[in-house]
Chain A
Amino acid sequence: MIVGKYIEDAINWMTINFSGFFDAVNYGMSSLINVIEAFWVWLPFYVVIAIFTGVAWWKAGKQNAILTVLGLIFIYFAGFWVETMQTFALVLASAIIALLMGIPLGIWSAKTETAQKIIRPILDFMQTMPAFVYLIPAVLFFGLGTVPGAFATIIFAMPPVVRLTSLGIKQVPEEIVEATKAFGATPRQLLFKVQLPLAMPTILAGVNQTIMMALSMVVIASMIGAKGLGEIVLQGISQLRIGLGFESGLAVVLLAIILDRITQNLGKSNKKK
């Protein structure tokens, strides 16, 4: 090992010296995830189906609403309801944190050349490093469970929204930016009144991508004890139960399609058909 040794040392050093910090993060994140999870599990399944279908109808039209109903009913009768809600809660929590960190990073990297030079290679690293690798430091920092799963998911899911936020802001026509400045806009006014509104479709595409990536990672995160559909997939693999594995996999796909259709249309004006 050439660099691995140093990485190992660094991770170990951080684990020892920042244990207080990691404990605090662990506590905060697990509270957040538990609240979200408890809420979705507490809701009766038909209410959840109604909420999802309503949002799908509102944002993505009738066809997608029908798809949503059928998909969720399948999941319910396949017996994966609680696991699906756990997965959904974990995706939601991770995605929210990834967006809260990713969008400001994207704005920053669009605004200054230096920031972009720093952020870009880090994003490349985050996206191309095999996702499983994140699981190791996650476990070292936070132990086994849902929080390290969320940690790995956040790292894995953040790059798209950073990139697309940055891209969206840079794509605002130069003349519009100039015009805004020429009328005496402060940098803050330029950002909130012009750049962000005009970049919104692109940013929302990033939000969609981040949620999709979060979902795919949440399943992998079950390897270190994150709850949800991933657990069942893992069970199917380890016990060689093809049927179980396939069915739980199908539940993941259905959840993915539903989330994708809804978030893909966030930016578009509502179409009620």
Chain B
Amino acid sequence: MEKIRIENLSLVFGKGKNKALKMLGNGKNKAEILDATGCTVAVREANLSIDEGEIFVVMGLSGSGKSTLLRCINRLINPTKGKIFVNNEEITNMNDKELLNIRRKELAMVFQHFGLLPHRTVLSNVAFGQELQGVPQQEREKQAMETIGLVGLQGYENQKVSELSGGMQQRVGLARGLANKPEVLLMDEAFSALDPLIRSQMQDELLILQEKMKKTIVFITHDLDEAIKIGDRIAIMKDGEIVQIGTSEEIITNPANDYIKSFVENVDRSKIVTAGSIMFAKPKIARLKKDGPAGVLRIMRENGVEHLPVVRTNRTFLGFIKLTDVLRLKQEEAKTIDKAIIEGIMSVTPDTTIENMLPLLSKTNLPIPVVNDDNHLMGVVSPTSIIAESTGMDKHEINDIIQKAIEL
């Protein structure tokens, strides 16, 4: 179900916004608009739909407009043009009172440098949201204690936040966000100021928390690895524009343009790309009852392959059959192929990552079958494409290497 929708959102800083918006409509780029009007285009015609319960990551380098986009959602910054809906209610035309209410009840935010009140204790920082709503002290502190437990800060509740480490402070920030029991959590580079080790730990904890809570999280980051690790879906922004939206795998296997390609180049693809996206989806098959040795031989010759997966008529995967065996069967004038099926082949599911398929290559030189939960054949992955994806080489390069090895 859709939780947040952003429609044609643009944000321009500076005077003479109307002219800038007009130029924007005419497709002028950021630099041209800056030259002509002195206005900076921070966000340009953004369209997004974020589902309930997903972690939606907006990724981009600094100056790409990602943080500005986030601040439009709770209207810390008012967009110049366009609409934002949360739960199908339009945020962008709310009056002050309605806005205050939705900020208090539905949208919580976590900040890069935590944004905590240094002169207060952990407890009173966590209870701050409820304090603003006028919840009595005892009640709000009781609730804050629960949230403090949730993020692992027990025992620290009476310390001043300025005495805590960065990681601990961000736990306070997270707890403060969760204490209001909001439906949406806006996280602005929430882990970017932390040490790598702590950061990775916080990412894990966020994912564990999210499994329990099922909030809708909009997470801003400049770090692709972070985006891939925690994002259900990722939007990549450049110069205020959303360049591509998709799952990490979609973006990596099918980058929208050269910018994104160069971005995802250094990603460890073997952890992300799955069998489903690199398999050959409609392989030629040999059907157990219907195709005799002669028929199978014909299919092999027509397609120039030396082995075929064998399935039952309902596409249940049985094993592979090799050209040499088919030839032998034909000489023996056998009627069926069932004697020659190589069984006990290890198969994978479509969501198996390449990383987890690599070890299988050491056991076989046959393609790896991809099956669904009912063991129906969905496709095959050739060893060459596994190597190609995990090394980033293309198939020709791999063939060249094999050729050279054979020559030696």
Do chains A and B interact in one complex? yes
> Are A176 and B117 CB-contacts (below 8 A) given A184-B104, A184-B129, A184-B133?
yes
User: CB-CB < 8 A to A179: which residues of B?
Assistant: 109, 111, 115-116
Query: Known contacts A175-B111, A175-B112, A178-B76; is A183 also within 8 Å of B103 by CB?
Result: yes
Asked if A185 is at the interface (CB within 8 A of a chain B CB), the reply is yes
Taking CB atoms, residues of chain A closer than 8 Å to B128 are 180, 183
| Most chain B CB neighbours (cut-off 10 Å) among A181, A183, A189, A194 | A183
User: For residue A175, which residues in chain B have a CB less than 8 angstroms away from its CB?
Assistant: 111-115
Q: Mark A50-67, 1 if CB is under 8 A from B, else 0.
A: 000000000000000000
Given the complex of chains A and B, what is the CA–CA distance between A49 and B99 in angstroms? 56
Closest Cβ–Cβ distance, residue A191 to chain B (whole Å): 13
- Bound-complex Cα distance A266 to B115 (A): 26
User: What is the interface residue range for chain B against chain A?
Assistant: 20 to 34
Residues of A within 8 A of B118 (CB): 198
Judge whether B123 is part of the interface by a CB distance below 8 angstroms.
no
**Bound: A176/B120 CA distance, A:** 13
Contacts of B71 in A (CB 8 A): 178
Does any Cβ of A come within 8 Å of B180's Cβ? Answer: yes
Overall SS of chain A's interface: helix
Closest-by-CB residue of A relative to B109 is A182
Contact B109 A184 (CB under 8 A): no
Kindly state whether residue B363 has any CB partner on chain A within 8 Å: no
Q: Using Cβ atoms and an 8 Å threshold, which residues of chain A touch B74?
A: 182
- Tell me if B100 is interfacial: C-beta within 8 Å of chain A: yes
The B interface, classified by DSSP as helix, strand, loop or mixed, is: mixed
Q: Residue on B with the closest CB to A187?
A: B96
- Report the nearest B residue to A185, measured CB to CB: B132
Asked whether any CB of chain A lies closer than 8 Å to the CB of B108, the reply is yes
Establish whether residues B115 and A197, one from each chain, have CB atoms under 8 Å apart when the complex forms.
no
Chain A residues near B114 (CB-CB < 8 A): 175
Please, which residues of chain B bring their CB within 8 A of the CB of A176? 115-117
Query: Please, how many angstroms separate the alpha-carbon atoms of A185 and B129 in the complex?
Result: 8
Contact with B along A209-242 (1 / 0, CB 8 A): 0000000000000000000000000000000000
Given A182-B76, A184-B129, residue A173 in contact with residue B103 (CB < 8 A): no
Which residues of chain A in 148-189 are interfacial with respect to chain B, using CB atoms and an 8 Å cutoff?
173, 175-176, 178-186, 189
Give the number of residues in A that approach B within 8 Å (Cβ atoms). 17
User: Shortest CB–CB separation between residue A185 and chain B, in angstroms?
Assistant: 5
| C-alpha spacing A183/B116, complex, angstroms | 12
Q: Specify the chain A residue showing the minimal Cβ separation from B113.
A: A175
- Minimum CB–CB distance from B261 to chain A (whole Å) comes to 34
A194 touches which of B105, B108, B117 (Cβ 8 Å): B117
Do residues B100 and A184 form an inter-chain contact, with CB atoms below 8 A? yes
Which residue on chain B has the smallest CB distance to residue A189?
B132
Which residue of the partner chain A has the closest CB to B179?
A: A183
Of the residues B105, B115, B117, B131, contact of A178 by C-beta under 8 Å: B115
Q: What is the bound-complex CA distance between A190 and B114, given in angstroms?
A: 17
Q: Does B107 contact A (CB under 8 A)?
A: yes
Q: Are B104 and A197 in contact (CB under 8 A)?
A: no
CB closest chain-B residue, reference A198: B119
Give Cα distance in the complex from A191 to B178, angstroms: 24
Q: Which residues of B contact A193 (CB under 8 A)?
A: 131-132
Given contacts A176-B117, A178-B76, A197-B119, contact A183 B104 (CB under 8 A): yes
- Residue of B with least CB distance to A183: B129
Partner of A184, one of B113, B117, B132, B186: B132
> Does B201 belong to the interface (CB within 8 Å)?
no
A184 to nearest B CB, angstroms?
3
Determine if B101 is an interface residue (Cβ-Cβ < 8 Å).
yes
Q: Are B108 and A183 in contact (CB under 8 A)?
A: yes
The answer for the CA separation of A194 and B116 in the assembled complex, in Å, is 10
User: Which B residues lie within 8 Å of A181 (CB)?
Assistant: 76, 103
Closest A residue to B76 by beta carbon equals: A178
Task: Indicate if the CB atoms of A183 and B76 lie closer than 8 Å.
Answer: no
Q: Once bound together, how far apart are the Cα atoms of A185 and B132, in whole Å?
A: 6
When distances are taken between beta carbons in the complex, the residues of chain A under 8 Å from B117 are: 176, 194, 197-198
**20 other A-B residue contacts (CB within 8 Å) besides A176-B115, A182-B186:** A173-B115, A175-B112, A176-B117, A179-B115, A180-B115, A180-B128, A180-B132, A181-B103, A182-B76, A182-B103, A182-B107, A182-B108, A183-B132, A184-B100, A184-B101, A184-B103, A184-B104, A197-B119, A198-B117, A198-B118
Interface residues of B (CB under 8 A from A): 71, 74, 76, 100-101, 103-105, 107-109, 111-119, 128-129, 131-133, 176, 180, 186
Q: Which residues of A contact B (CB under 8 A)?
A: 173, 175-176, 178-186, 189, 193-194, 197-198
Leading 9 A-B pairs by shortest Cβ distance: A179-B115, A184-B104, A184-B103, A182-B109, A175-B115, A183-B129, A184-B100, A176-B115, A185-B132
* 20 A-B residue pairs with CB within 8 Å: A173-B113, A175-B115, A176-B117, A178-B71, A178-B109, A178-B111, A179-B109, A181-B76, A182-B108, A183-B128, A183-B129, A183-B180, A184-B101, A184-B104, A184-B129, A184-B133, A194-B117, A197-B117, A197-B119, A198-B118
